């Protein structure tokens, strides 16, 4: 029997419903920190996050029904904490349902306030951004895209690239958390240099 090749091998995915449950994709996982109307800290895990270009803009997908969205709209500020692999459970629990308007689990989070924005960050993450709200784009079905300008950034020293250590060594010694949507995660401690084409322009 001839071997199946090209499009013949592929299985159509029904686009009449969301496609994202049918396969795995690699994503970051962050905690977005905002302040509730009563001043309480709010954190929500997000994996649909991305740099918005090569400059200091950051974006994440949210929903107008989420407190994170109304908090950003009201305060004009949010933070981003990048958790380490050991904080995966902690990160997930931030998505616990609210009771009487609050997420009780957040009382167990050790947090610290932003330096430039009035929004919290979580202790022990490896990378932090403080953002000023830039633009929200509504209308992706029930979702919206919230973007901000990064006005402060800091990181644990071992996670920062330096001339002293090879990039491969940095990733090995300070592993990164990846979210494999939907519903799995991985610890990345091995990596390879990317084979860029010669004279590539950004």
**Contact call for residue 44 and ligand FMN (CB under 6 A):** yes
Question: Which of 52, 62, 72, 176: binder of ligand FMN (CB under 6 A)?
Answer: 62
The interface region with ligand FMN, picked from 40-48, 109-117, 123-131, 133-141 by CB under 6 A, is 40-48
Torsion sign (Cα): 115, 117, 118, 122: negative
The reply to whether 28 sits near ligand FMN by the rule CB under 6 A is: no
Retrieve residue 181's tokens.
């949507």
- Per-residue contact string for residues 84-123; x = within reach of ligand FMN by CB under 6 A: --------x--x----------------------------
| Closest to ligand FMN by CB, 66 or 84 | 66
| Residue 181 · residue 25 · CB < 8 Å | yes
Give the closest residue to 94 by CA, choosing from 34, 141, 51: 34
What is the spatial distance between Cα 34 and Cα 80, in angstroms, rounded to a whole number?
9
Question: Beta-carbon neighbour count of residue 202 at 10 Å?
Answer: 4
- Residue numbers of the site for ligand FMN (CB under 6 A)? 29, 42, 44-48, 61-63, 66-68, 92, 95, 179
């Amino acid at each position: 029997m001839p071997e199946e090749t090209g499009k013949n091998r592929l299985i159509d995915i029904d686009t009449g419903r969301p496609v994202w449950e049918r396969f795995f994709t690699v994503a970051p996982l962050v905690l977005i920190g905002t302040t509730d109307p009563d001043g309480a800290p709010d954190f929500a895990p997000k994996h649909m996050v991305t740099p918005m270009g090569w400059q200091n803009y950051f974006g994440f997908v949210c929903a107008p029904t989420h407190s994170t969205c109304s908090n950003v709209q009201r305060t004009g500020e949010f933070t981003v904490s990048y958790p380490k692999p050991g904080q995966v459970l902690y990160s997930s629990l931030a998505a616990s349902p609210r009771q009487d308007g609050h997420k009780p689990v957040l009382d167990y989070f050790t947090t610290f306030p932003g330096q430039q924005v009035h929004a919290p960050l979580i202790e022990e993450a490896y990378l932090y951004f403080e953002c000023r709200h830039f633009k929200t784009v509504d209308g992706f079905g029930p979702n919206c895209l919230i973007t901000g300008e990064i006005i402060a950034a800091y990181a644990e020293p071992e996670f920062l690239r330096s001339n002293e250590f090879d990039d491969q060594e940095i990733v090995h010694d300070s592993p990164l958390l990846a979210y494999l949507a939907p519903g799995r995660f991985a610890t990345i401690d091995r990596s390879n240099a990317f084979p860029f084409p010669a004279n590539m322009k950004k």
